[in-house]
Amino acid sequence: MIDVQNIHKSFGDAHILKGISTTFEKGKTNLIIGQSGSGKTVFLKCLLGLFEPEEGGIAYDGKLYADHTDDEKRDLRQEMGMVFQGSALFDSMTVEGNVMFPLEMFTNQSKSEMQERVNTVLKRVNLVDAHHKFPSEISGGMQKRVAIARAIVMNPKYLFCDEPNSGLDPKTAILIDNLIKEITEEYNITTVINTHDMNSVMQIGEKIIFLKDGLLEWEGTKNEIFKTDNESVTNFVYSSDLFKKVRQMYIQEQN
């Protein structure tokens, strides 16, 4: 579980996060939505410990980041998996090399132990034939699977994904969403996902927070988001005609 307590983050004069408080539970897919520039990536980087907020704090399973020693911060970082926007695989390494990289960097496992773990996670993301391919030789959807495999290879307690669906067709995007949700439940991970994608919200939005201009404007579940009267949220959600229709259908069903 992650407990975010009134965090503020600025760059020079630009006040980007203006006091955000929320909690993200274990075993759940927590989504952060909001317009471009609303601060989603900055927020995720604060959760990752890449940015330190100048005010407020973030507690990981009950312990504030600031209360960790340097060694404990390093250990905590190793409990975090990250799927970056655009997968961010190493082009010069094979699929297997990419997934093995964190194990080589941070563990003393033998080659055969590492190989076994890599095989397990690649199987988990349904990639069994791509071990020796390079990222340029596989599809975008497969690249995301590799990125997810790399993010979970260290068995993380926390998983952060920045726009894991960007650049994928809707069907592949849903497969990736579902894969992240399944893995979250299976390994009881605290997962936080940045997304623009309303399909993701409908599919896996167990908890959703909506950021607007660096403030937490609304939070709730995927069912609640269709009932809210909050105008900023409805403008965001119903910016597409498709979702206006979905809402009408939903309201009819309720009546």
- Residues lying near ligand ATP in the complex (CB under 6 A) are found at 11, 14, 16, 34, 36-42, 196
Which listed residue (29, 30, 38, 41) binds Mg ion by CB under 5 A? 41
Q: Which does 98 bind (CB under 5 to 8 A by kind): ligand ATP, Mg ion, none?
A: none
Nearer to ligand ATP, 41 or 94 (CB): 41
Minimal CB distance residue for Mg ion: 41
Q: Does 195 contact Mg ion by CB under 5 A?
A: no
Identify which of residues 24 and 43 has a Cβ nearer to Mg ion in the complex: 43
Which does residue 38 bind out of Mg ion, ligand ATP, none, counting CB within 5 to 8 angstroms by kind?
ligand ATP
Q: Using CA atoms, how far apart are residues 210 and 1, in angstroms rounded to an integer?
A: 19
Rg (CA), the chain: 19
Nearest-approach distance from CB 163 to Mg ion, in angstroms: 6
Instruction: Give the residue with the Cβ less far from ligand ATP, 44 or 99.
Output: 44
Nearer of residues 68 and 196 to ligand ATP, judged by Cβ: 196
190 is a contact residue toward Mg ion (CB under 5 A): no
Judged by beta carbon distances under 5 to 8 A according to partner kind, the member of ligand ATP, Mg ion, none in contact with residue 105 is: none
| 191 is an interface residue for Mg ion by CB under 5 A | no
By CB under 5 A, is residue 87 in contact with Mg ion?
A: no
Nearer to Mg ion, 33 or 153 (CB): 33
To ligand ATP, the closest distance from the beta carbon of 37 in angstroms equals: 5
200 lies in the site for Mg ion, by CB under 5 A: no
State the Cα angle at 133 between 152 and 166, rounded to 5°. 55
Residues that bind Mg ion (CB under 5 A): 40-41
